[in-house]
A and B are shown apart, each in its own frame.
Chain A
Amino acid sequence: MGAFKPYLSVQDPSARYPNVRHPKAWGNGIATLFLMALLFMPMVALAHPHMWVEAKAQLNFNAQGQVTGVTQTWVFDEMFSSYAKQGLPATSDNRPPQEELDKIGQSWIEALADPMSHYFTRITYGKREVPTAPAQRVRVDWDTATEQMSLRFELPLLEPLAPADKPLVVSVADPTFYVAYSFEADDAISMVAAPERCDANYQRPERLDMETAQRLAAIGPDVTELPDDLMAVTQTLQHRVVLTCQ
């Protein structure tokens, strides 16, 4: 039906045949509405990072060879860093005073402690989620050379855990895909005081395929438990630090 015809055109071609009604009027009307619905809907792509974080994870052990917690360092991209630094007083070397940075760190950690975010970090042992205490040793730094801000915090396990037959997995990801993480530095994964028999490996997330993206998008925010198969897929979408101890 009809090529693109702007409102500017005065003559309507179909009006030349006044007695011929178009049988497809209804169908076209519905199709039009559908097209417009697509056009009108505000769209948010699921994979739309607006922030990039170069991350590092460090596994901490106690003298008994148990994991006590995970320390992460997140270096923010320049754009976000300059936004976070905006308006802060600067010392002589163009660095914000530490008490200002501490204030920012406190507000970030408070927001990240929200159960929905949970520091964008989940620790699992087998099928069980390992409970953690609130983040501690929070530190925000400004690197004058790279002009980037970074956040460091430790997530202590409620009870120290010695992985045996199963791996301990630390998964990092922003479920909303607002923040894009990368663990690409050579020393991105490290261990402190780890027993000889333990080995930590990094597993890169797989790319989110469109089908999964659609299924994830279709699940309401009130749903906290994903179906098993979808859960298995979303696990592979996270950055994973896999700790195995023989």
Chain B
Amino acid sequence: MPVKPYAAGHSKPILLWAVALMLLLVSASVLAQSPHPFAVPEQRLPTVSSGWLAQWTGQIAIWQSEFYRELTGAVRAWKADGWQAWGLLGLSFAYGVFHALGPGHGKAILSAYVLANRETVRNGAILAFASSLVQALVAIAMVGIAAGILNVTGAVLNEVTAWLELGAYALLSGLGAWLVFKHIVKPLIKRISNRGHGHSHDHDHHDHNHDHQHHHEDHVEADACGCGHVHMPDPSQIAGKLNWRKAWGAIVAIGLRPCSGAILVLVFALSQQFFVAGIAAALAMGLGTGLTVATLAMMSLGVGRMAEAAGGGQGRAWGQIIGNALQGAASIAVLLFGLLLFSAAWQYGALN
């Protein structure tokens, strides 16, 4: 049964619109949120509740709350007895693991980013841990300088967090725009400029795409038309080296907004004149968050890979179409996330 190129051509817009629509629906509820009377730097994101998902997030929230409530006691215990440091580190790590499973944008952005870029699993994990480490370091630096040295109030800390948040989301929007340009606009332009002979390609491209079965690893120029160019993969990318110049945007976009749990435990440690416990707790939280985000990013890569394989893999028309659609959809998702979070932070952040 031959591939019907026309049907294939339609699948991409449908998938993309589905993602876009979904995110727009979510956006309506974000924008309707108003600030809470007792403001702490807490990320307010829309509620998604359905079936097992609600049960799952509910349970996670309960665990996370339990760990959170133990943190103050653990800081005090360490202050009294050095050996109790492990208690705080363990709790903070567990809090980080469950925190990343609950609300937050980090895991979603990173999952979309690695899909959009066809990162390797190893790179996805490195990105996850790097961004979580940056997140912890930003929290430590912010509380250390603003609260520890300048002794500002909680209200000012909320404001600083809001600015960092805006910066992170602006950066994220830029990153999304760049991904959309690279994976959707550029291939489309290429396709249009190839139109003169493109028609015949549409009919026979499924005949000559097996000469490069492993080209799908990581090559940057995603081929939207699948019209049979010979793709020579860059050997360094096959090897799975992370391109740090390319990755810093994603790392900073995720890491720039410090996690509220880390800020609160740092401020509490400061109030106990025991800031080092706060630093250790923030780093342990970062490690836990990184572990969860890395796992989720790897899962999203695995799912994407399975979808491509379902269509016959990158070498086949269907596989390539699904792969490209996923890449395009993930790029759009990053862009929409950025715009959505930015507008929500702009309207309802602590800046107002």
Q: Which residues of A contact B (CB under 8 A)?
A: 1-2, 4-8, 10-15, 18, 20-26, 28-29, 32-33, 35-52, 76-80, 82-88, 108, 111-112, 114, 116-117, 147, 176, 178-180, 210, 213-214, 217-218, 220-222
**Once the chains are docked, how many angstroms separate the CA of A214 from the CA of B53?**
10
Q: Is B205 an interface residue (CB 8 A)?
A: no
Number of A-B residue pairs at CB separation under 8 A:
272
Beta-carbon nearest neighbor of A27 in chain B: B310
Please give, as numbers and ranges, the residues of chain B lying within 8 Å of A222 by CB-CB distance. Answer: 32
B61 touches A14 (CB 8 A): no
Q: Given contacts A39-B108, A87-B153, are A46 and B325 in contact (CB under 8 A)?
A: no
- B65 CB contacts on chain A under 8 angstroms: 48-50, 180
In whole angstroms, what is the CA distance A18 to B42 when docked? 52
Q: Which of B3, B265, B305, B314 is close to A79, meaning CB atoms less than 8 Å apart?
A: B265
The contact of A18 among B108, B156, B210, B218, by CB within 8 Å, is: B210
A sample of 21 cross-chain residue pairs with beta-carbon separation below 8 angstroms, ordered by A number, consists of A6-B301, A6-B302, A7-B218, A12-B216, A12-B314, A28-B306, A29-B307, A29-B311, A36-B304, A36-B330, A42-B108, A45-B57, A45-B102, A46-B58, A51-B40, A78-B268, A79-B264, A82-B272, A116-B34, A220-B32, A221-B32
Chain A residues contacting B47 (CB-CB under 8 Å) are 43-44, 46, 217
Q: B351 contacts the other chain (Cβ, under 8 Å)?
A: no
Docked pose: A10 CA to B305 CA in angstroms: 12
* Residue picked from B64, B154, B337, most chain A C-beta under 10 Å: B154
CA distance A82 to B263 in the complex (A): 11
Known interface pairs A13-B309, A47-B62. Does A7 touch B301 (Cβ–Cβ under 8 Å)?
Answer: yes
| Cα-based distance from A5 to B153 in the complex (angstroms) | 50
In the assembled complex, the CB of A93 is this many whole angstroms from the nearest CB of chain B, namely: 15
Docked-complex contact B313 and A14, CB < 8 angstroms: yes
Assembled-state Cα–Cα distance A1/B296 (Å): 20
B172–chain A nearest beta-carbon distance, Å: 13
Residue of A4, A28, A42 near B46 (CB, 8 A) is A42
Task: Note all chain A residues with C-beta closer than 8 A to B322.
Answer: 25, 29, 32
Is B195 an interface position by the 8 A CB rule? no
Q: Point out the residues of chain A lying under 8 angstroms from B190, CB to CB.
A: none
B276 on the A face (CB < 8 A): no
Report Cα–Cα, A80/B318, bound state, in Å.
54
> In the complex where A33-B329, A47-B62, A217-B49 touch, is A5 in contact with B69 (Cβ < 8 A)?
no
Contact of A46 among B38, B49, B154 (CB under 8 A): B49
Q: Within 8 Å CB of A86, what residues of B?
A: 147, 152-154, 157, 267, 270-271
A23–B38 CA distance with the chains assembled, in angstroms: 55
Is B112 among interface residues, defined by CB-CB distance under 8 A?
Answer: yes
Q: Is the interface of B mostly helix, strand, loop or mixed?
A: helix
Are A8's CB and B240's CB within 8 A?
Answer: yes
Q: When A and B form their complex, which 7 residue pairs have the shortest distance between CB atoms, in order from nearest? A: A87-B153, A12-B313, A111-B37, A217-B49, A28-B310, A45-B61, A6-B121
The verdict on B45 contacting chain A, using a C-beta distance below 8 Å, is: yes
Q: B325 near A29 (CB under 8 angstroms)?
A: yes
> Scoring B residues 137 to 171 as 1 if CB is less than 8 Å from chain A, else 0, what string do you get?
00000000001000111101100000000000000
Q: B166-207: which residues lie under 8 A (CB-CB) from chain A?
A: none
Assess the A40–B112 pair: CB atoms within 8 A: yes
A96 to B55 alpha-carbon distance, docked (Å): 42
Chain B 41-61 interface residues, beta-carbon cutoff 8 Å to A: 42, 44-51, 53-55, 57-58, 60-61
Chain B: how many interface residues by the 8 Å CB criterion? 108
Name the residue on A nearest B36 (C-beta). A178
CB pair A33–B69 under 8 Å, yes or no, is: no
Bound-state CA distance A84–B32 (Å) is 26
Bound-state CA distance A40–B106 (Å) is: 10
Instruction: Report if B24 contacts A (CB, 8 A).
Output: no
Please determine whether A11 and B264 come into contact, CB atoms closer than 8 angstroms.
Answer: no
Partner pick for B54 among A5, A12, A46, CB 8 A cutoff: A46
Bound CA–CA A246/B337 (angstroms): 58
Indicate if B333 sits at the interface (CB-CB under 8 A): yes
Which of B14-22, B79-87, B220-228 interfaces with chain A?
A: B14-22
Closest to B55 in A: A210
Is A25 within 8 A of B217, CB to CB?
Answer: no
User: Are the C-beta atoms of B310 and A29 separated by less than 8 Å?
Assistant: yes
B42→A21 contact, CB < 8 A: no
A20 to B318, CA, bound (A): 11
Q: Mark B255-280, 1 if CB is under 8 A from A, else 0.
A: 00000100011011011100000000
> Could you say which residues of chain A place their CB within 8 Å of the CB of B44?
44
Shortest C-beta distance, A237 to chain B (Å), equals 14
Least distance between A8 CB and chain B CB atoms (Å): 5
> A77 to B268, alpha carbons, bound, how many Å?
11
Q: Which of A29, A36, A147, A179 contacts B38 (CB 8 A)?
A: A179
Given contacts A40-B108, A116-B34, contact A147 B271 (CB under 8 A): yes
B243 interface contact, C-beta 8 A: no
